[in-house]
A and B are shown apart, each in its own frame.
Chain A
Amino acid sequence: MRRRTLTALAGALTLSLVTGCAQGDSTGASANTVTYWLWDANQLPAYQACAKGFEQENPGLRVKITQLGWGDYWTKLTAGFIAGTQPDVFTDHIQNFGQFVDLKVLEPLDDLGIKDSDYQPGLAANWIGKDGHRYGAPKDWDTVALFHNETMVKDAGLTADRLGNLSWNPEDGGTFEKAIAHLTIDRNGKRGDEPGFDKNNVKVYGLASNGGGFGDGQTQWSNFAASAGWSYLDKPRWGTKYQYDSETFQSVIQWYFGLAKKGYMAPLSDYNIQSNQANTQVAAGKAAAAFDGAWMISTYAGFKGKDIRTALTPVGPTGRRATMMNGLADSITKAARNKEGARKWVAYLASDACQTVVGSHGVVFPATRAGTEAAVAAYEKKGVDVSAFTEPVADKKHFRTFSYPIASYSADMTALMAPAMEDIYGNGKPVSSLDQTNEQINLILSQ
């Protein structure tokens, strides 16, 4: 009996075992090696090429690159911080950056001479912490556009050109909603804007589902909310109040998830983060279009037998289009074994020399202007038109680009917003329920 109870104790408390981990040195790093982690397998060859250039410039130094899948990446990194097996340099995401700064595991990079003007606008400034120190060197950027199945668009009598000239508003959805409705086809072949359309038996949705969008809505609702003039926080960086309680925001959300109620957008029940994301729905021919990020360009281009094109996000009530412009950076860990080498490597990663090499692989848009140009040329060579992603960055008059929300306690915000958004999308909860969620998040933020 006692032993069985203790087995139960053991199960319930295995979590506490983790805290027993000892400091250990198992990486086998030496004084002339710099360890570097990234998660995107597509980018590995590009960074290997960059490392080669670095090693030629710095004889005696060697870069050891490790690629881990996104899911394992953050778990292993966290475990590495505790066990002392973290890499010297790693690819950092804005979403985790604030948390790492709070946990004091990053090395300040103020003396690397990173200048805002060397990079696409806004990218460098995002990596300065609340304390005023720089913790990341910009490496790349991405924006969001409307991927669509060209055959379905043509069948609907639309053109790519028209898809790129849509506008929307939260009252009647504007020409954007009309287009999405027209792209939707039910089981009997009726289109979404035709009388007798059966919204409960849809064969092809106009717009794919990418889930509730957590608290950022990057590829879901963020471009709509931003083109309606809304911002996540009271300040562009390190704000102290989220604004999910704003009337504007809630009207956007009501309209956006309302598309699913009308049968034009796939319902939440069709989405699964593992098995059925927006790109899968487009690949399977279950959806005609999907908002997705620049990091998905090669994925969509690789769909066999499907002609996938991209269009700009629609013009909003403010008269401008909007897209999130998110960027990654390279950070050095505070407990890095080879700090001197790490600094040199990060400085090189942030330079035109490395970023043009990375750009020429045509897998990502590097942060420097020359790097971006190299990438655009490389995509062009592959026959992929990426103007829907680059235009918003070049044309600030007609486009609003905004960053992923930069604030402390980002994990807590996500943990609270994810179920709140799914409740609205999947269970028809009123958007006003966001008032309470917003209050809870701001309470945590005020700690």
Chain B
Amino acid sequence: MTVASSSPPSRLLRAKARPGGDGALAAVFVAPAMLGFLVFLLWPTLRGVYLSFTRFNLLTPAEWVGLDNYVRMVNDPIFWDSLKVTVEYVVINIGIQTVSALAIAVLLQRLTQSAVLRGIVLTPYLMSNVVAGLVWLWILDTQLGIGNEIISAVGLDRVPFLADETWAIPTIALINVWRHVGYTALLLFAGLQAIPNGMYEAAKVDGASEWRMFWRITMPLLRPVLAVVLIMTVIGSFQVFDTIAVTTAGGPANATNVLQYYIYGSAFGRFQFGYASAMSVALLVVLSAITVLQYRLTRAGQTDLG
């Protein structure tokens, strides 16, 4: 009898811990995302990694070649050169973009409440990368671009912005800063909104300057948001492709042959899908490493607000 009377509560507990009806419902909710994850993320990733160990031209079956593609990659000066060009692009692009976005965000928060201004900041982002690239290509054309016409009209030498080894990468980096800075500023602006206004008021009472408040209040409290924004923009920046494709096509003399463009050319131009996959895997490793490092260094998961 005692045995019988003690068993029902435990059954009840079990039932509470595993409510069968909710489980099925949860599965239904998760299924679409799970399907997308499996079909569009996991499977292609695994297949890409597999292809990096093969010689594959897309039309005939892949042929296993072991580490050949990786050996070739390590010995390929063009690969290292394109990695260098990519890093140069990312440093210029992210450096200038983050600082200007931060400045714009702080100005938006501290100086104005105008929704129109906030909208204007975002306008370049409404344009597609390809259109932005083409418009700047025409503005900056050495012979015919209006930008160079103005430069030459004020008596300076024309600048081959997109046609010179030294100028091409900084120019493309700045074109993309122009397009993305508003969006980045908006993300940071949202982060700023989360900082309690009382802190600034208290600081003002204590006689702190705007400059001091920026370094002592804004920066520390914005850090987690800034870190996430940095991680996202760095990943995006490493994947620069469309602007390059429409403005310089990797030239002059491979000066803008960024990794994504080299991968694309190897795959779709030269039908070397195995080698292109190997370089994609390398890019994946680089990006993962940078992301982990950034996450750790910036303590993106913690906040100082509290």
Interface, chain A (partner B; CB < 8 A): 1, 4-20, 75, 78, 81-82, 99, 103-105, 266-276, 280-281, 284, 286, 411-412, 415, 418-420, 422-423, 426-427
In the assembly, what is the distance between CA of A83 and CA of B236, in Å? 29
Is B20 interfacial (CB-CB < 8 Å)?
no
* Known A8-B291, A82-B58, A103-B59; contact A13-B280, beta-carbon cutoff 8 A: yes
- Contact among B134, B250, B288 for A274, CB-based, below 8 A: B134
Question: Residue on A with the closest CB to B276?
Answer: A15
Q: Do residues B47 and A276 form an inter-chain contact, with CB atoms below 8 A?
A: no
Of listed A20, A274, A418, residue having the most chain B CB within 10 A: A274
Q: Do residues A16 and B47 form an inter-chain contact, with CB atoms below 8 A?
A: yes
Contacts A/B (CB < 8 Å), 17 sampled: A1-B295, A6-B41, A10-B40, A12-B239, A15-B264, A15-B267, A16-B280, A17-B44, A19-B44, A19-B58, A78-B268, A103-B57, A103-B271, A286-B144, A422-B251, A422-B253, A423-B253
- Contact among B59, B143, B162, B287 for A281, CB-based, below 8 A: B143
Q: Do residues A12 and B251 form an inter-chain contact, with CB atoms below 8 A?
A: no
Is B43 interfacial (CB-CB < 8 Å)?
yes
Q: Using Cβ atoms and an 8 Å threshold, which residues of chain B touch A269?
A: 142, 160, 163-164, 252
Q: Do residues A419 and B253 form an inter-chain contact, with CB atoms below 8 A?
A: yes
In the assembly, what is the distance between CA of A24 and CA of B204, in Å? 68
Chain B residues 245 to 303 lying within 8 A of chain A, measured CB to CB, are 246-254, 257, 263-265, 267-271, 273, 276-277, 280-281, 283-284, 287-288, 291-292, 295, 301
* Known A20-B43, A104-B59; contact A270-B277, beta-carbon cutoff 8 A: no
- Contact among B47, B251, B295 for A419, CB-based, below 8 A: B251
Q: Do residues A8 and B235 form an inter-chain contact, with CB atoms below 8 A?
A: yes
- Contact among B144, B235, B250 for A280, CB-based, below 8 A: B144
Interface, chain B (partner A; CB < 8 A): 40-41, 43-45, 47-48, 51, 57-60, 134, 137-138, 141-145, 160, 162-165, 231-232, 235-236, 239, 246-254, 257, 263-265, 267-271, 273, 276-277, 280-281, 283-284, 287-288, 291-292, 295, 301
Nearest chain B CB to A303's CB is how many angstroms away? 14
4 nearest A-B pairs in the assembled complex, by CB-CB distance: A269-B160, A16-B48, A422-B253, A269-B163
Q: Using Cβ atoms and an 8 Å threshold, which residues of chain A touch B283?
A: 12
Question: Residue on B with the closest CB to A21?
Answer: B58
Q: Using Cβ atoms and an 8 Å threshold, which residues of chain A touch B137?
A: 272, 274-275
Number of A-B contacts (CB under 8 A): 148
18 more contacts with CB within 8 A, not counting A8-B291, A13-B44, A415-B270, are A4-B232, A6-B41, A8-B235, A8-B288, A11-B239, A11-B287, A15-B263, A16-B44, A16-B48, A19-B47, A19-B58, A82-B59, A270-B143, A272-B162, A274-B137, A418-B251, A419-B250, A426-B165
Nearest chain A CB to B74's CB is how many angstroms away? 17
In the assembly, what is the distance between CA of A329 and CA of B264, in Å? 28
- Contact among A12, A14, A272 for B287, CB-based, below 8 A: A12
Q: Do residues A5 and B291 form an inter-chain contact, with CB atoms below 8 A?
A: yes
In the assembly, what is the distance between CA of A420 and CA of B239, in Å? 25
Give chain A's interface secondary structure class: helix
Q: Using Cβ atoms and an 8 Å threshold, which residues of chain B touch A420?
A: 253
In the assembly, what is the distance between CA of A412 and CA of B251, in Å? 16
Q: Using Cβ atoms and an 8 Å threshold, which residues of chain B touch A8?
A: 235, 284, 287-288, 291
Q: Do residues A268 and B252 form an inter-chain contact, with CB atoms below 8 A?
A: yes
Q: Do residues A286 and B287 form an inter-chain contact, with CB atoms below 8 A?
A: no
Q: Using Cβ atoms and an 8 Å threshold, which residues of chain A touch B236?
A: 11
Q: Do residues A16 and B143 form an inter-chain contact, with CB atoms below 8 A?
A: no
Question: Residue on B with the closest CB to A287?
Answer: B143
Nearest chain A CB to B228's CB is how many angstroms away? 8
- Contact among B41, B59, B250, B280 for A81, CB-based, below 8 A: B59
Q: Do residues A411 and B270 form an inter-chain contact, with CB atoms below 8 A?
A: yes
In the assembly, what is the distance between CA of A10 and CA of B45, in Å? 7
Question: Residue on B with the closest CB to A81?
Answer: B59
Q: Using Cβ atoms and an 8 Å threshold, which residues of chain B touch A281?
A: 143
In the assembly, what is the distance between CA of A252 and CA of B287, in Å? 45
Q: Using Cβ atoms and an 8 Å threshold, which residues of chain B touch A422?
A: 251-254
* Known A419-B254, A426-B165, A427-B165; contact A16-B291, beta-carbon cutoff 8 A: no
- Contact among B59, B141, B163, B284 for A9, CB-based, below 8 A: B284
- Contact among B48, B143, B247, B248 for A15, CB-based, below 8 A: B48
Of listed A15, A276, A411, residue having the most chain B CB within 10 A: A15
Q: Using Cβ atoms and an 8 Å threshold, which residues of chain B touch A15?
A: 48, 263-264, 267, 276-277, 280
Q: Do residues B138 and A275 form an inter-chain contact, with CB atoms below 8 A?
A: yes
Q: Using Cβ atoms and an 8 Å threshold, which residues of chain A touch B164?
A: 269, 426
Q: Do residues B144 and A105 form an inter-chain contact, with CB atoms below 8 A?
A: no
Question: Residue on A with the closest CB to B254?
Answer: A419
Q: Do residues B51 and A270 form an inter-chain contact, with CB atoms below 8 A?
A: no
Q: Using Cβ atoms and an 8 Å threshold, which residues of chain A touch B57?
A: 103
Q: Do residues A268 and B284 form an inter-chain contact, with CB atoms below 8 A?
A: no
- Contact among A5, A81, A103, A412 for B288, CB-based, below 8 A: A5
In the assembly, what is the distance between CA of A134 and CA of B287, in Å? 48
Q: Do residues A275 and B141 form an inter-chain contact, with CB atoms below 8 A?
A: yes
Q: Do residues B253 and A276 form an inter-chain contact, with CB atoms below 8 A?
A: no
In the assembly, what is the distance between CA of A427 and CA of B163, in Å? 11
Q: Using Cβ atoms and an 8 Å threshold, which residues of chain B touch A275?
A: 137-138, 141, 144-145
Question: Residue on B with the closest CB to A409?
Answer: B270
Q: Using Cβ atoms and an 8 Å threshold, which residues of chain A touch B251?
A: 418-419, 422
Q: Do residues B160 and A270 form an inter-chain contact, with CB atoms below 8 A?
A: yes
Q: Using Cβ atoms and an 8 Å threshold, which residues of chain A touch B277?
A: 15-16
Q: Do residues A19 and B40 form an inter-chain contact, with CB atoms below 8 A?
A: no
